[in-house]
Every structure is written in structure tokens, then in C-alpha cells.
Amino acid sequence: MATQRRRREVVVGIFLLITAVLVDSAQARTSLTLSDKSNNIEFARASRGTVKTIQMKSSFLDEGESHLQGLPAELEEWGVDCPEGTVPIIRKTSENVPDIKDYVPSFFVDDVKSLHNKSFPVFASYNKGHEYAVVQTIGKGTFRGGQAIHNVWTPHTETGEASISQIWIYAGPDETVNTVEAGWAVDASSGTSRFFTYWTSDGYKSSGPGFVQTSKYYGPGSTISSTSTYNGKQFEINIQIRQDLSTQHWWLRLNDMDIGYWPGSIFNSLRGGADGVYWGGEIYNSEKNGQHTTTQMGSGHFPRDGYYTKSSFIRNLAYILNNGPMQPVPKAALVTYVSKPQCYDLVMGPSGLNFGTHFYFGGPGLSSQCPK
């Protein structure tokens, strides 16, 4: 009996040891996540052998499930094998690719004039070429984060242009506004939808390396391989940006997993919190041949053409206000702005749905309704 008892104890001990190893390995895998943008595949792939140790984590507690109701959109992995505790670091691989961590559509990189003009009405009075369908928070207070679920599409885009769905968190005066931004974007050079980030600390006059990646599986320009279809399956991503008060860093979370952060040190106004949050769509219209672009926003359809499964939406809007918890955004706390409703429009969704505060947006661009 004593011999059998000792054997059982040994077997149980081995089982517990194996279980602990498996659980630890699973937790290690789930603590690493998704990332950012690129305007071609060459940029999205990190060169082998370039690594950097990044072991910093946010101080946030896990806040539960993503509440995705469509299918979770999949992102393609880099396919780069990195040593444990390290992540791929982007390096310039051609003369046509910028040596920056944050992916931005090509018009932000190549067209300096467009870069300077990228703004909202609250950021500057002049926003030639950029058209929006967005909602904005109103009221006073200090914002420490924002969140929403976006369904993902691959709208048509003309060469040198882009179509975007994103969240912006901003602070400071128009001329030197600070922003952190994330979402999905499609530009003609790739023809695919990619996850992206962007930031500025001087009113879009310049940008550069800044986002610190903490994921070893995904990086700037990661392709979103599953996207929504008209009147068909819907694929979604849940994007959250929030400030860690202990470090002043702005952490980015995709589908409930931290993927990296913008250090507080690269900002001035945003270091102390944000003035507000935007969600919505943006396109760049280069007005080739003197006519409006055919670049589509969202699904390429107006909200009035049909809602769920037919129009691009952003739902379950939430924010952190005055150091409180992440909480749903009331409709009364938002205003809408549509720069050219005959080309791209926005409609707030009805109350009482499990979509929370949400809206539909988008349009076809040049059409019988959108003037040349």
C-alpha cells in the first residue's frame, strides 16, 4: 500500500508539473499580440536577424472578453521566428519605404502637402483633400482612453489615395495638436486592408519612430486577411487605446491583447491626458483630372443603402473620462461631422441594440449623387 501511495504521489506530481508548464506557455503566447501598418508587403515583413528586447507590460488588469458579435478578423503573422522575449523591428528595405515604425497610407508619406493638410475642423480650418464621416466627443473633461468595434472592409481606392476607419485621441491647440490613432486602412498600392497606427505631436507637420511594439507575431502593416462582404459575413476588430497613468504611455490593444504603446515622452499635450476622441471614416481625394475621386469609404455604400452586413459600422463606443473606468459613450455626448454627405455619409444607429452607441458610415465617392 505504501508503495502504491508513493507511485500515485509521483504520478500526480508529474501531472501537476506538466499542467503548470502548459498553462505558463499558453499565458506567454496570449500575452503577445497584434500590431500596425505598411503600404506594401515588403515593408510589412521585418528582415530576419533584426530583433529588440521588449518586456514592458501595461499596468492594466485584463478586462474580459472582446464582445465581438461578428467573426473576429484574422491578421496574417509575419512568419519571422524571434527569440523568446524579443520582437521583430522594422528596417528600411527599399528606397520607396519609409524607415518608421508606424504604418501610414502612402499619401501620408509621399505627399508632404497632404500630410500638412490632414486635419479635422477642430484641428485646422483648412483640410483640402481629406474627407470625413466622424463622430466626436463633446463636453469638458480629461479623456484617458477610447474603444470601439469596427467591421473591416476592402473598399476600392485610387492610386495615391487611401480609405480608413479609425479612432483618434487628441489634445492641444489646432496648430500643434497631439494625436494617437489606430484602425484599418486600404491603399491602392496593396489593395488589402491592414491594421495601422499613427501619431503626431506637432499638428501633422512631421512624424517618425515612436510606437513601441510589444508583439512578436504581428507588426506594422499586418494584413487583415478576413474582411466583410456585402450582405454576407461580417468580420470585426476591437480597438482600444488608453493611457497608463503610472507611465503616461498610451497603450494600444487589439481584440483585448496589448500590442504596444506610444511613450508619453514623445508628446507634450497628450502626456497629461486627452481633450477628446473621434471615431469614423476618412479618405484622401487627390481630385485627379479635376474630378472627385472614386475612392470608396467603408463598404463603398451609403448607410441608407442598408445597415448591418451592407454598411461599414463602428459600434459599442466607449471612453475613459476623468480617470474613471472604460464606459459606454452616451449618444448625447457626441456630435457628428460629415464633410461631403453627397459622397460619403453617416447615420447614428438606433438605441436599444446590443451594438451600444454606434453608427454607420461610408459611400461610393464619385457617382450620380457625388458631383465631379
Has residue 5 got a pLDDT over 60? Answer: no
Average pLDDT taken over every residue of the chain = 74
pTM of the full predicted structure?
A: 0.75
Name the pLDDT band for 81 (thresholds 50, 70, 90): low
Cβ atoms < 10 Å from Cβ of 84? 7
| pLDDT at site 174 | 82
Give the 3-state secondary structure of 261-272.
EECHHHCCCHHH
Phi-psi label, residue 105: left if phi above 0, alpha if psi -120 to 50, beta otherwise: beta
| 353 or 28, greater pLDDT | 353
Active site includes 131?
no
| 34 or 56, greater pLDDT | 56
Radius of gyration of the chain from its Cα atoms, rounded to whole angstroms? 22
| pLDDT at site 108 | 40
Whose grid coordinates read 455619409? 345
Inter-residue long-range contacts of 107-115, CB under 8 Å, 24+ positions, other chains counted: 107/160, 107/161, 107/162, 107/187, 107/284, 107/286, 108/162, 108/198, 109/39, 110/160, 111/160, 114/284, 115/204, 115/205
Q: What's the fold here for domain 78-90+98-113+125-363?
A: Jelly Rolls (2.60.120)
pLDDT digits (tens, 9 = 90+) for 227-286: 999 999 999 999 999 999 999 999 999 888 888 999 999 999 999 999 999 999 999 888
Residue 247 one-letter amino acid: T
Active site includes 282?
yes
| pLDDT at site 183 | 94
Name the pLDDT band for 19 (thresholds 50, 70, 90): very low
| pLDDT at site 43 | 23
3-class state of residue 273 by DSSP: coil
Q: Among the options 131, 158, 161, 181, which is catalytic?
A: 181
| 190 or 132, greater pLDDT | 132
| pLDDT at site 29 | 27
| 325 or 74, greater pLDDT | 325
Cβ atoms < 10 Å from Cβ of 29? 11
pLDDT digits (tens, 9 = 90+) for 282-306: 998 888 888 899 999 999 999 998 8
| 234 or 174, greater pLDDT | 234
Q: Give the start-to-end residue ranges of the domains of the chain.
A: 78-90+98-113+125-363
**134 backbone dihedrals φ, ψ, rounded to 5°:** -135, 160
Q: What percent of the chain has pLDDT over 70?
A: 64
- What is the C-alpha to C-alpha distance for residues 330 and 278, in angstroms, rounded to an integer? 14
Cβ atoms < 10 Å from Cβ of 291? 12
Average pLDDT over residues 148-164: 93
Name the pLDDT band for 219 (thresholds 50, 70, 90): low
